[in-house]
């Protein structure tokens, strides 16, 4: 198994490091446009491997796509991150060109790869990667909901004073501060609805904190976060390469599911060796449906911006 991570910045390097630590492939390639960055970080990870008993070949590449040839999975993290006060959507112009170019270059050498898109605005970048590549829809997966769900579970565990390992919680919809939908109704603490333990006001605060989870970190750190985003990318890759069939909220192309079409949006999907294999299309209540449709409208507006760009 060979996995390439494009973008050796904060998220890409963390994702590659997690992939290597979990030995998800025999070979991991880290590619960046900045001369020396990926080689340096790759070598650093290789040295860490000798301490941590990991047996993975890690190669850095300064924009040489030949080294990525025959990758099974490619994770795209290249692009600008947001700065304090910025929305993910403000990154569209620069990142659209980067994501489109990277996708084309990767496909020259790895025509059968499954793509995981992390660059923001992720829902629109996933749509762009799908439309510009013409690949089968199951091979393009946007990662945002796994991270947002991790943040949801973090805030729930803090409110409940319990281990996040006992919690189930899913965030669907767009990967934006105002477009994501933490499904508080369906969250459970060891199978028991969290509403049995937390009052409505606390649950509302958990949902609100989740939605601005990324912005909170960006304000604290000065740039967007990387530990949880990198880990979220790696567990998505793990479910692909180990064919685990895990159900994760991922950004995928909808053709009528959840009442939406011609859009990539976060919904629960089964992730396995073929990419996303099945959409879990369950019934939302009226309030959730309205929020989902509103989220779709916002993402569709963002997708329309692509038409105004010279790509």
218: Cβ–Cβ under 8 A, 6 or more apart, which residues? 82, 83, 84, 86, 224, 225
Binding of ligand NAD by 299 (CB under 6 A)? no
Binding piece for ligand NAD, criterion CB under 6 A, among 28-36, 176-184, 241-249, 282-290: 28-36
State yes or no: residue 123 binds ligand NAD (CB under 6 A): no
Alpha helix positions (H), the chain:
10-21, 37-52, 92-109, 122-133, 145-160, 200-211, 213-221, 227-241, 286-306
45 lies in the site for ligand NAD, by CB under 6 A: no
Residue 9, marked binder: yes
Query: Judged by CB under 6 A, does residue 218 bind ligand NAD?
Result: no
Question: Which residue is listed with tokens 């829809």?
Answer: 137
- Interface residue with ligand NAD among 2, 41, 82, 151 (CB under 6 A) is 82
Q: Does residue 175 touch ligand NAD according to CB under 6 A?
A: yes
Integer-rounded Cα radius of gyration of the chain? 19
Give yes or no for residue 6 binding ligand NAD (CB under 6 A).
yes
**Least distance in Å: CB of 107 to ligand NAD?**
14
Q: Which tokens hold the place of 179?
A: 């477009």
* Catalytic option among 100, 157, 175, 225: 175
Nearer to ligand NAD, 6 or 241 (CB): 6
Site for ligand NAD in 144-173 (CB under 6 A): 144, 147
Q: Are 269 and 277 in contact (CB under 8 A)?
A: yes
Q: Which of 212, 245, 210, 220 is nearest to 88 (CA)?
A: 212
Catalytic residues: 175
User: Which residue numbers belong to the known binding site?
Assistant: 7-12, 32, 82, 88, 95, 118-120, 151
């Amino acid at each position: 198994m060979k996995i390439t991570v494009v973008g050796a910045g904060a998220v890409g390097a963390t994702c590659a490091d997690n992939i290597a630590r979990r030995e998800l492939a025999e070979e991991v390639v880290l590619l960046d446009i900045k001369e020396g960055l990926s080689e340096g970080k790759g070598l650093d990870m290789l040295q860490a491997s000798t301490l941590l008993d990991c047996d993975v070949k890690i190669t850095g590449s300064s924009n040489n796509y030949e080294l990525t040839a025959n990758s099974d999975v490619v994770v795209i993290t290249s692009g600008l991150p947001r700065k304090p006060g910025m929305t993910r959507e403000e990154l569209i112009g620069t990142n659209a060109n980067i994501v489109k170019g990277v996708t084309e270059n990767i496909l020259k050498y790895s025509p059968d790869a499954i793509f995981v898109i992390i660059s923001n605005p992720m829902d629109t970048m996933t749509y762009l990667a799908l439309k510009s590549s013409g690949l089968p829809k199951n091979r393009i997966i946007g990662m945002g909901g796994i991270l947002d769900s991790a943040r949801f579970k973090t805030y729930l565990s803090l409110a409940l004073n319990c281990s996040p390992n006992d919690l189930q919680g899913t965030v669907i919809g767009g990967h934006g501060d105002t477009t994501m939908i933490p499904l508080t109704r369906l969250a459970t603490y060891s199978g028991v609805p969290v509403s049995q333990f937390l009052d409505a006001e606390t649950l509302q605060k958990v949902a609100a904190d989740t939605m601005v989870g990324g912005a909170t970190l960006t304000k604290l750190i000065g740039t967007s976060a990387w530990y949880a985003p990198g880990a979220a990318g790696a567990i998505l890759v793990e479910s692909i390469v180990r064919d685990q069939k895990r159900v994760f909220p991922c950004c995928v192309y909808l053709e009528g599911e959840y009442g939406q079409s011609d859009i990539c949006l976060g919904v629960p999907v089964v992730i396995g060796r073929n990419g996303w294999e099945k959409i879990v299309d369950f019934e939302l209540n009226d309030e959730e449906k309205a929020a989902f449709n509103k989220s779709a409208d916002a993402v569709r507006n963002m997708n329309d911006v692509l038409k105004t760009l010279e790509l």
